[in-house]
Amino acid sequence: MTADSSKPALGVTDVGHAYGARRALDGVSFDVPVGGFTVLLGLNGAGKSTLFALITRLYDAREGRIEVFGHDVARLPGEALRRLGVVFQQRTVDLDLSVMQNLTYHAALHGIAGAEGRRRAALMLEWFDLSDRHKDKVRNLSGGQMRRVEIARALLHRPNLLLLDEATVGLDIRSRADIIGHVRRLVSEEGIGVLWATHLIEEVEMQDRVVILHQGRILAEGPVAEVVSQHGGRDIRSAFAALTGADRPRAASEAAA
């Protein structure tokens, strides 16, 4: 899908959200550039999943503005969401369908039916090294393979922006590296913009942009080297600790926002 490269892939401006009296997000603003890998880094409970729910319109954004390639998700949701692929933290694949069925049914929801849907699904399975598992029920896959199916599914309609919320939670080290490698390859080879939400500092690389979200507020944003330099850290881990007052990331078992 063609997108206007003169505009950010994602623009978030002064976004706020509350659950009753509790402010989950407060004046959040940042951009995700076209064809770049941006890490939304924050401890569990920082507000990352709430922000994803607002971007994808699971919740209405009543404070601020969210745009996907210049299209306001509140006023032009169809135009905005058409350019967006999403992988949520909780798995959403149907365990009792085959890998191919999961992909072709999702393609049909985007109006890509019949031979074209099967063709795109086959291409995605080849890209993610899953062609030999196309007939298998999803429940028979490993956790890492399920994640690859979800990412493949999110790309069927050829979005220009991919959002992934804690995509490696619960995976072993090898599976985590495999998933991150596939997504980074999408950025470098396909020019897709990526917003990768995580609480794991080791998933951040020096060439990335980073947005540090803490208790619903943005504490820093920019290239990793710039954020580290501005906040007196030796590396992104020490800069993150200095900004948030955290000696170390919380365990993955803590409840996510």
Which of 1-10, 71-80, 101-110 is predicted least confidently?
Answer: 1-10
pLDDT at residue 2, rounded to an integer: 52
% of the chain exceeding 90 in pLDDT: 83
pLDDT at residue 113, rounded to an integer: 87
Q: Look at residue 257 and tell me whether its pLDDT is greater than 60.
A: no
Q: Predicted confidence band at 3 (pLDDT cuts at 50, 70, 90)?
A: low
What's the mean pLDDT when you consider all of the chain?
Answer: 91
For 147-163, what is the mean pLDDT? Answer: 95
pLDDT at residue 6, rounded to an integer: 72
pLDDT at residue 121, rounded to an integer: 96
Q: Look at residue 170 and tell me whether its pLDDT is greater than 90.
A: no
pTM confidence score = 0.89
Domain coordinates of the chain in residue numbers?
Answer: 19-83+159-249, 94-158
pLDDT at residue 247, rounded to an integer: 54
pLDDT at residue 246, rounded to an integer: 67
Q: Predicted confidence band at 253 (pLDDT cuts at 50, 70, 90)?
A: very low
Q: Look at residue 252 and tell me whether its pLDDT is greater than 50.
A: no
pLDDT at residue 52, rounded to an integer: 96
For 99-127, what is the mean pLDDT? Answer: 94
Name the one residue in this structure whose structure tokens are 């995580």: 198
pLDDT at residue 254, rounded to an integer: 40
Residues 199 and 163: their CA atoms lie apart, in Å, by: 15
The second-level CATH assignment, the architecture, of 19-83+159-249 is: 3-Layer(aba) Sandwich (3.40)
pLDDT at residue 80, rounded to an integer: 92
Angle, vertex CA 191, rays to CA 53 and CA 46, nearest 5 = 30
For 23-48, what is the mean pLDDT? Answer: 96
The answer to whether 145 and 102 have CB atoms below 8 angstroms apart is no
Q: Which residues of 73-93 are buried (b: 16+ CB within 10 A; e: fewer)?
A: beeeeeebbbbbbbbbbeeeb
For 170-190, what is the mean pLDDT? Answer: 92
For 98-138, give the secondary structure using H, E and C: EHHHHHHHHHHHCCCCHHHHHHHHHHHHHHCCCHHHCCCEH
